[in-house]
Structure 1
Amino acid sequence: MTKDYIKALRKKVGHEPIILNFAGGILANDQNKILLQKRSDFDAWGLPGGALEFGESAQEACVREFLEETGLKVRTKSLLGVSTKFIQRYPNQDVAQAVTIEFVVELVEKTSKEVSSETLDLKYFSKNKLPKIFNKQHQLFIYHYFDKDYPFIN
């Protein structure tokens, strides 16, 4: 597995539009509140997850990203959905078409691992008290989860 795949790719293409593959998950507590991450890049809330490293499966990326961003070990329970048409513009001027595979995950254990600098805060939110979500793709996954309308492809 190649580490920092996106950094290596961006060194070659700069901020040019590219297609990237992402994976993430929705973790719900016993009150069906979902865990959201306040992201440092957008200073806004979204679902834990991130880009696949070269040679990594979507499930492996989801589990790895969850641990890095939340300090929680999770396992994937089911496919939530796949979204393929969303264009993301990042604060650093990068542009990417995000092909995202999202899972419903369950908690395996909490760790004492420090979370990455990508995470400003972590909180559970109910369907009726969601904060502003940083992009429409993450909103789509959240709506499908709470509507129990999955797996889906968009």
Structure 2
Amino acid sequence: MEKDYIKNLRQRVGHEPLILNFAGGILVNEKNEILLQKRSDFNSWGLPGGAIEFGESAEEACAREFLEETGLKVKVKSLLGVSTNFIQHYPNGDVAQAVVIEFIVELVEKTDEQGSSETLDLGYFSKDNLPSIFNKQHLNFIRQYYNRDYPFVE
């Protein structure tokens, strides 16, 4: 697996639009609340996850990103959905069409690891008490989960 794939790619192409692949997961607690991450790049909430590194599977990326961002070890239970039609504009000027593979995950173990600098806060939120979500793609995954309308592709 090549680490920092996107960073290396961005050094070559700058802020030019790219198609990038991401993986993430929805982890729920016993109250059916979803774990959300307050992201440092947008200073807003979203689902844990991130870019798939070169040579890595979507499931591996989901588990790795969860551990890096939350300190939680998770395993994939099932596919929630695939979203391919969203253009993300990042605060640093990068533009990407985000192809996201989202899973439903379950907790394996809590670790002593702290979340990365990408994470400002973590919290569980109910369907009726969601904070502002940083993009419509993540919000749609949350809605699809609560509507039990999965797996889906868009």
The TM-score normalised by the length of structure 2 is 1.00
1:114 Cα deviation from its structure 2 partner? 1.6
Give the Cα–Cα distance (whole angstroms) in 2 for the partners of residues 96 and 28 of structure 1. Answer: 28
- 2:120 aligned partner, one-letter code: L
Residue in 1 aligned with 2:82?
A: 82
Give the Cα–Cα distance (whole angstroms) in 2 for the partners of residues 37 and 145 of structure 1. Answer: 17
Once the two structures are aligned, what percentage of the paired residues are identical? 75
Give the Cα–Cα distance (whole angstroms) in 2 for the partners of residues 138 and 5 of structure 1. Answer: 23
- Count of equivalent residues: 154
Give CA deviations for 1:44-99 in whole Å, capped at 9, x if unaligned.
00000000000000000000000000000000000000000100000000000000
User: Structure 1: which 5+ residue stretches go unaligned?
Assistant: none
Residue in 2 aligned with 1:70?
A: 70
**Which residues of 2 match residues 108-127 of structure 1 at below 5 A?**
108-127=108-127
Instruction: Show structure 1 runs of 4+ deviating over 4 A.
Output: none
Give the Cα–Cα distance (whole angstroms) in 2 for the partners of residues 37 and 85 of structure 1. Answer: 22
- 2:75 aligned partner, one-letter code: R
Give the Cα–Cα distance (whole angstroms) in 2 for the partners of residues 22 and 46 of structure 1. Answer: 13
Task: Report the secondary structure of 2:64's partner residue.
Answer: helix
Residue in 2 aligned with 1:142?
A: 142
Give the Cα–Cα distance (whole angstroms) in 2 for the partners of residues 33 and 136 of structure 1. Answer: 19
**Which residues of 2 match residues 33-44 of structure 1 at below 5 A?**
33-44=33-44
Task: Report the secondary structure of 2:59's partner residue.
Answer: helix
1:115 Cα deviation from its structure 2 partner? 1.0
Task: Report the secondary structure of 1:134's partner residue.
Answer: coil
1:137 Cα deviation from its structure 2 partner? 0.3
- 2:8 aligned partner, one-letter code: A
Give the Cα–Cα distance (whole angstroms) in 2 for the partners of residues 54 and 99 of structure 1. Answer: 15
Give the Cα–Cα distance (whole angstroms) in 1 for the partners of residues 136 and 103 of structure 2. Answer: 17
Residue in 2 aligned with 1:26?
A: 26
Task: Report the secondary structure of 2:87's partner residue.
Answer: strand
Residue in 2 aligned with 1:97?
A: 97
User: Structure 2: which 5+ residue stretches go unaligned?
Assistant: none
Give the Cα–Cα distance (whole angstroms) in 2 for the partners of residues 28 and 7 of structure 1. Answer: 31
Give the Cα–Cα distance (whole angstroms) in 2 for the partners of residues 109 and 97 of structure 1. Answer: 33
Give the Cα–Cα distance (whole angstroms) in 2 for the partners of residues 148 and 49 of structure 1. Answer: 21
Task: Report the secondary structure of 2:142's partner residue.
Answer: helix
Give the Cα–Cα distance (whole angstroms) in 1 for the partners of residues 114 and 138 of structure 2. Answer: 24
Give the Cα–Cα distance (whole angstroms) in 1 for the partners of residues 102 and 11 of structure 2. Answer: 28
